[in-house]
Chain A
Amino acid sequence: METLQNTHVKLLAFDFTSLTPSSSQPKSAVYRRGTLLVSRVETLGIVTSRDHKPDRFLQFTIDDGTGCIPCVLWLNQLTSPYHSRRSPPDVRLIAESAINFATLIQIGVSARVRGKVTVYRGIATML
């Protein structure tokens, strides 16, 4: 089984939307066409939707002309239990950079996005 789990694999949206969840591998891994195992993806496109919940998340869509990729940028680092295990200065830095990215993500801008793939309600989503 070929695996590219430790790198951000550049995928077009039509390829991304055809990813299938992996059953045997870790939860965060998905298959590209049943053969290549990936968990991190990079893509480039235009932001076509934006739903901002301050201090929680920014949900947006990237359209590259071959399809749309739903993305989530978490903004809850200062309140989530997951981050409470890390050092507070690190968490503050992560939270600040997430807020900066959230202001850059506006409808109509061209954005290059990197993230982990998860399957949310049956749809591959980039986090």
Chain B
Amino acid sequence: MASASIPSGALVLLQELDSSSSHFKQGASIRVTGKLQEYSVETAIAIVADGGATLAVDTQHLRLNLRVGSLYQFIGELSIQPNNEGILKARVGRNVDGMDLNLYQQSLKLLRQFQSDQISHLENLQ
């Protein structure tokens, strides 16, 4: 089944995405959320920001009406440039205006806790 080969975009906060992050590697599939700070129609490069951190997103494959100041979520693969900066090659994007980013961070923390608890529970069963 072709769709089964599509990797899941790991939930990452922009603040966590520095060069020391385990997600900061060539081809890593991630999902990021942030406010659109800049957008160039010529290059289709968008800059999203959250909590003081920013990330460049290549939106050339998306059919999305991007507005500066709105919140967006992108899923795609990270490409590390020669200057060690990451750019997300987005394959999915959506507007998430109205989303409470603080609540999102809290729920992400709970989700990670749940997932690690479940995985350790599973290991104990084996």
Q: A residues within 8 Å of B by Cβ?
A: 12-15, 18, 33-34, 46-49, 51, 59-61, 63-68, 70, 107-110, 120-121, 123, 125
Q: Is the CB of A51 within 8 A of B111?
A: no
Residue of A15, A33, A61 near B3 (CB, 8 A) is A61
B125 interface residue, CB < 8 Å from A?
Answer: yes
Question: 5 new A-B pairs (CB below 8 Å) besides A12-B115, A18-B122?
Answer: A46-B92, A59-B1, A60-B3, A65-B8, A110-B94
Contacts known (A51-B3, A108-B92); A65 close to B11, Cβ less than 8 A: yes
Query: Closest 8 interchain pairs by CB?
Result: A65-B11, A108-B94, A61-B3, A49-B3, A68-B8, A67-B8, A63-B8, A108-B92
Residues of A within 8 A of B118 (CB): 14-15
Please count how many residues in chain B sit with their CB below 8 Å of the partner chain's CB atoms. Answer: 25
Residue of B4, B62, B115 near A70 (CB, 8 A) is B4
Residue of A14, A61, A123 near B6 (CB, 8 A) is A61
Q: Is the CB of A49 within 8 A of B6?
A: yes
Residues of B within 8 A of A14 (CB): 115, 118
Q: Tell me, rounded to whole Å, the shortest Cβ–Cβ distance linking B34 to chain A.
A: 16
Residues of B within 8 A of A67 (CB): 8
Q: Is the CB of B4 within 8 A of A48?
A: no
B93 interface residue, CB < 8 Å from A?
Answer: yes
B75 interface residue, CB < 8 Å from A?
Answer: yes
